[in-house]
Amino acid sequence: MEKRKIQFSLVYRDMFQSSGKFQPRKDQLERIAPAIIKMGCFSRVETNGGAFEQVNLLYGENPNKAVRAFTKPFNEVGIKTHMLDRGLNALRMFPVPADVRRLMYKVKHAQGVDITRIFCGLNDVRNIIPSIKYALEAGMTPQATLCITTSPIHTAEYYANIADQLIEAGAPEICLKDMAGIGQPAMLGDLCRRIKTKHPEVIIQYHGHSGPGLSMASILEVCRNGADVIDTAIEPLSWGKVHPDIISVQSMLKNAGFDVPEINMDAYMEARKLTQEFIDDFLGYFMNPSNKLMSSLLLGCGLPGGMMGSMMADLVGVMSAINSNRQKKGLEALSEDALLVKLFNEVAYVWPRVGYPPLVTPFSQYVKNIALMNLLCESMDKPRYSMMDKSIWGMILGKSGKLPGEVAPEIIALAKEKDMEFTDADPQSYYPDDLQRFIDEMKENGWERGEDDEELFEFAMHETQYRDYKSGAAKKRFLADLQAAKDKENAAGMTAEEAAALKHAKADAIVAPENGIVLWEVNGDAEAVTSIEPFIGKEYAEGDFFCYIESPYGYIEDVPAALGGSLVEVTVKQGSRVRKGEVIAYIQRKL
C-alpha cells in the first residue's frame, strides 16, 4: 500500500509572534531564507501577515521591502509562501474598510505571497467569504480557516458545517487553526475526516500551538484522518507556547508510516544558529521567558500561548491595586501565582457568559480584559462587568460578527441599562470604503504610493504606525525602548541602590508642589481612588494629569506628569503625606 504524503510548513513569522514583540529585520530574513530552503523539508513557509508588518513599522522598517525580500528566494525555488489575515480586521486588531481589504490581496500577490490564511475570531462566514473572493480576484490562494477551541458548542459537526460554507464560497484549502493548542485530538481527527470525506479535493493544513501539550497527539490524529500539511517550528523557538519542532514531527509521522521528506540537518543547525543570532541581536530583549514554557493551566482557560507575556504584564500591573483594596478590608494579599489562578478561573467563568468567542486575536484579549477587570471590581466590592470598554461591548453587541453562543441575561440587562442595542447586521456595513481619503492625503503630502500601490496600502492599513514610520518617530521610540531593555539587563548584576540610581538618572522626578496628602482621585470613595492608581509602565503625554495633593487647609492642587513618558517608579502610596519637594514618582522620557 502506498504511503500517504504529508507536507510541512515552517511558520517563521508566528514563531516570533508567539515568543515576543518584534519580527526579524529585512536583512535577517534575507540571511535565513537560504538555510530554510537547504533544509529540504518545507513545501511552505509563512512569510508575513498579522503582527508582522505592523511591528516592522513600529521599529522603523519598511515592511513592504521586507516582504518582497523574504518571499523572493522561496518563489524562485517553488516553495509556497503564506500569510495570516484576520478577515474583517485584515492585518490589524480592528475592522478594515472593504476597499482596503480588497487592495491588500492585490498588493500581497504582487509582493510574492501565494496563500492567505483568512480567519475570523468568531468563525462568522460573513467576515471570511468576502476575503475569499478578493483573494481569488487577485490571483492568491484563499485558505479559509476554522478557529479551534473546546466548548459545548464547538463540536466537529459545528466546524464541518462552517467548512462546507467556506468551500462552497470558493476556498480550495481549509486550515484548522488551533491557536491555543486546546483542541482535543479526537475532535480534530473527527473534523478532519468529515471534511475530507465530503471534499476529498480540499487541502487541509493543521496549525497547533504546543502550550498545554496536546499538539503532537493532535498532529497524529489529523494526519491519520486526511490532513495534508502540518505547521512546524525550529529551535530555538520551538515548543513552549510556540509550535512543535520539525524534527520531532517528522520522526513521529515517518514512524507512523507516512511519506515525509528528509531533513538536511546541517542546514537545520545553520537556521537554528542564525535564529539565535537574531534573538541575541535585539529580538530577545522583547521576549518573555515564560513563553519558553508549556503549561497545562492553559487547558482550563483556553487562552492562546502568544498572549501569556502580555497577560502576565497586565496581571502584575493590577496586582498592587487589588492587594491594596484587599488589605483595607483586612484580607490577606494575593501572591502572583494565586492571582493567576483566580484570573484563569475568572476567564473560565466569563467565557461562556459572553457567548463562547474562540479565544484568538482580538477576542482573546477582550475576554482576558473582562476577567482581569472583574477581579479588580471584586476587590472594590463592585459588580462584575463594571469596567468594559467600547471594543468589548462591540463584540458582545454583535458588531464584530455573530457570537457562537448566547450572551448571559445579566449582561443583556446591563446593555439595556446603558441603552445599547444588539445587532445582526453584516459587520462590514459599519466600516464603509475609505481608501480615497488616504489617496488624497498621500498626494497632498507628496508621498509615493509605491510599487503596486504597496505604500498606499500600508498607510491605509496601519495609519498611525505609518505616520510615525514616515516621521522617524517610530525609529526613535524603538531605539529608546531597546536601550531601556538593555539597561534593565545590565542592571541585573547591580545592587538595589545602583539600579535605582541608574533608573532615576534617566527619569524625571515628579515632586510634590506643596505639603499634603497624595490622592489619585478627588471626591471619589476610597475604592474608586485606588482603582486608578498609576501602574508601572503607564504612558503619559507632557502635562497630563498625574495626581492631586490635598494641603492641610483642604486646597487641592493638580500635579502634572512633567514632560511625559513611561512611569518607572511610584515612591509614595495613596493617602500618604508628603512634604513640598519630595519625590512622588519617576517618569522616563522617550527619545
CB 92 within 8 A of CB 461: yes
CA-closest candidate to residue 84, choices 33, 127, 142, 139:
142
Question: Which of 386-400, 486-500, 556-570 comes out lowest in average pLDDT?
Answer: 486-500
Instruction: Order across the sheet with 556-560: list the strands.
Output: 556-560, 545-550, 516-519, 577-578
Reply yes or no on whether the pLDDT at 309 is more than 60: no
Reply yes or no on whether the pLDDT at 578 is more than 80: yes
Q: What pLDDT is recorded for position 505?
A: 63
Helix or strand holding residue 498 (H, E): helix 496-505
Using CA atoms, how far apart are residues 448 and 503, in angstroms rounded to an integer?
42
Mean local confidence (pLDDT), 92-103: 94
Reply yes or no on whether the pLDDT at 149 is more than 60: yes
Q: What pLDDT is recorded for position 498?
A: 62
CB 359 within 8 A of CB 150: no
Reply yes or no on whether the pLDDT at 217 is more than 50: yes
Q: What pLDDT is recorded for position 197?
A: 98
45-89: pLDDT as tens digits: 999 998 898 889 989 999 999 999 999 999 999 999 999 999 999
336-359: pLDDT as tens digits: 889 888 988 999 899 999 999 998
231-279: pLDDT as tens digits: 999 999 999 999 999 999 999 999 999 999 999 999 999 999 999 999 9
Q: What pLDDT is recorded for position 485?
A: 80
Q: What pLDDT is recorded for position 492?
A: 61
Using CA atoms, how far apart are residues 280 and 68, in angstroms rounded to an integer?
25
Reply yes or no on whether the pLDDT at 406 is more than 50: yes
Choice between 441 and 513, residue whose per-residue pLDDT is larger: 441
469-484: pLDDT as tens digits: 999 988 988 888 888 7
Helix or strand holding residue 418 (H, E): none
CA-closest candidate to residue 105, choices 164, 48, 60, 56:
48
Residue 192 pLDDT class (50, 70, 90 cuts): very high
Mean local confidence (pLDDT), 384-405: 91
Residue 500 pLDDT class (50, 70, 90 cuts): low
417-436: pLDDT as tens digits: 999 999 999 999 999 999 99
Mean local confidence (pLDDT), 445-472: 95
Q: What pLDDT is recorded for position 305?
A: 59
Reply yes or no on whether the pLDDT at 312 is more than 70: no
Residue 436 exposed, middle or buried by CB count within 10 Å (0-12, 13-18, 19+): exposed
Q: What pLDDT is recorded for position 523?
A: 44
Task: List, in order, residues 6 or more apart from 27 with CB less than 8 Å away.
Answer: none
With a threshold of 0.85, does the pTM exceed it? Answer: no
Reply yes or no on whether the pLDDT at 323 is more than 90: no
SS3 (DSSP) at 143: strand
